[in-house]
Structure 1
């Protein structure tokens, strides 16, 4: 019996999706299933995992409340600070910059990604350390200023490290903005500030939500910046996971924390998609 055109299209689609689906299943679904299994187990006598079925690991989550608190406070705060810096930058690049210089300026935004985040964070350790800014302040009579190993240092590292990821979605959203809408608003007598809040900002909100969701989700699992700029005093969930899996070898408890982290990421992503959908009236597939 010959295959219909619809069946052929479905087979072709399935064949094209099969490699990516297999990749996601092996490297995303299976590890998550393993985490779920580990999270209801017990720590072995020598560490690692011992088969069991208990929810004691989830009941013990408050023991890492400081890591949750720091992550859930500093991650949104870092994303908000990135937004405050990124929006004016993206607006200038997309609306104000001349087309001749725009490509160069956008390239400069991406240039920091050419250097490892580890190297850039170590540079900030020197700048904020005793030989950096505090030393200069001490020379002018401002002594005993501690910048490193503080939440402020972590926030500074977050803004520096994740700013390009916030700028690019907003830039793309603003770059697609129909300039005739701005001209029409001006012709109708609206002032520039009124035009911005009534036309530019609402039309760019999908890009804003994409950038905020992207940066926030990545920050929820951040390890390097809190470890280096926080000096072990500003713990994120990522730092707690490294400690439990590699130091304490408490795999079930670490898996329980990892499962809750995935749940938090899903909630953040869902909320961001719903907000973007309500704002724009269409589903924002770029958030997925």
Structure 2
């Protein structure tokens, strides 16, 4: 068999293996998104839904949902940053300090919350932050009228709790691959542990940092459940606006315009994260997905 025939067979094998996934993405991702783009340039039908047209009026009307955009653009990155601050020490301990005999068990405990539905866990936080939870305990020590539920604070608590494992795992993978001889060399040369961390550990773990931030931020940009339950309708995200427009107002073109804008923002966040990761890591061999 010639080299050309071998290459052709490899290409056919690769195409056959990728075909099911490619077909799945085409049918359930690409084609629906094309439909959303078409809807975005249409008009709302008198009875609701979509009416064929070609207009930019839906995009011009985006400022009417500015509150949802601002809440999302502020709370999503803020939630990702808080997740990073909380997750990094946990991932650092798991990767570099934990006993190897118990490391797998500890990593498994990080994943355990995913065994329970996010809806159930969020309802639990509704009780904890509600009037019969923490505020009731605070009233016993004299702190009356403390309101936690239906506030940005409650939404942020839910975000950190729900998305923390997704931040820990990329950090753990990045730190676990770190060459510990570099840390040992820094310690042998008399560097302070803080200096070692900021000069060696943190820079070498930046691919994991950027992966975690990008992953959590992108998911938060489309979050609906946590703001709806813990925000009580007072803290709106873009996801809440989309549900309102598609299912209640039945303004599909305007909802599609918001969805297209959200996808553009997600792509922009991903590109910026990749460029930052490449620049910091000094290589393009950085995975963000």
- Bin of the TM-score, shorter chain as denominator length: over 0.9
**How far apart, CA to CA, are the structure 1 residues paired with 2:104 and 2:4?**
50
**Offset, 1:140:** 1.3
1:169 corresponds in structure 2 to: 170
**Offset, 1:15:** 1.8
1:41 corresponds in structure 2 to: 42
Q: Where do 1:129-208 residues align within 5 Å?
A: 129-208=130-209
Large movers: runs of 4+ above 3 Å: none
1:57 corresponds in structure 2 to: 58
Aligned length: 288
**Offset, 1:18:** 1.4
Q: Is the CA contact 2:58–2:254 (under 8 Å) kept in the aligned structure 1? A: yes
Q: Report Cα offsets for 1:13-32 as digits up to 9, x if no partner.
A: 22222111111111111011
2:111 corresponds in structure 1 to: 110
2:82 corresponds in structure 1 to: 81
**Offset, 1:285:** 4.8
**Offset, 1:12:** 2.0
1:100 corresponds in structure 2 to: 101
**Offset, 1:3:** 6.1
**Offset, 1:284:** 4.2
Q: Is the CA contact 2:277–2:286 (under 8 Å) kept in the aligned structure 1? A: no
Q: Report Cα offsets for 1:165-184 as digits up to 9, x if no partner.
A: 00000001111111111111
**Offset, 1:115:** 0.6
Q: Is the CA contact 1:276–1:284 (under 8 Å) kept in the aligned structure 2? A: no
Q: Where do 1:271-282 residues align within 5 Å?
A: 271-282=272-283
2:11 corresponds in structure 1 to: 10
Q: Secondary structure at the match of 1:79?
A: helix
- TM-score, normalised via structure 1 length: 0.97
Q: Is the CA contact 2:39–2:50 (under 8 Å) kept in the aligned structure 1? A: yes
1:283 corresponds in structure 2 to: 284
**How far apart, CA to CA, are the structure 1 residues paired with 2:287 and 2:32?**
25
Q: Structure 2: state its 5+ residue gaps.
A: none
- TM-score, normalised via structure 2 length: 0.97
**How far apart, CA to CA, are the structure 1 residues paired with 2:192 and 2:63?**
52
Q: Is the CA contact 2:207–2:287 (under 8 Å) kept in the aligned structure 1? A: no
**How far apart, CA to CA, are the structure 2 residues paired with 1:243 and 1:71?**
16
Q: Structure 1: state its 5+ residue gaps.
A: none
192-201 vs 227-236, which moves further: 192-201
2:124 corresponds in structure 1 to: 123
Superposition RMSD on alpha carbons, in Å?
Answer: 1.3
**How far apart, CA to CA, are the structure 1 residues paired with 2:11 and 2:90?**
45
Q: Is the CA contact 1:42–1:49 (under 8 Å) kept in the aligned structure 2? A: yes
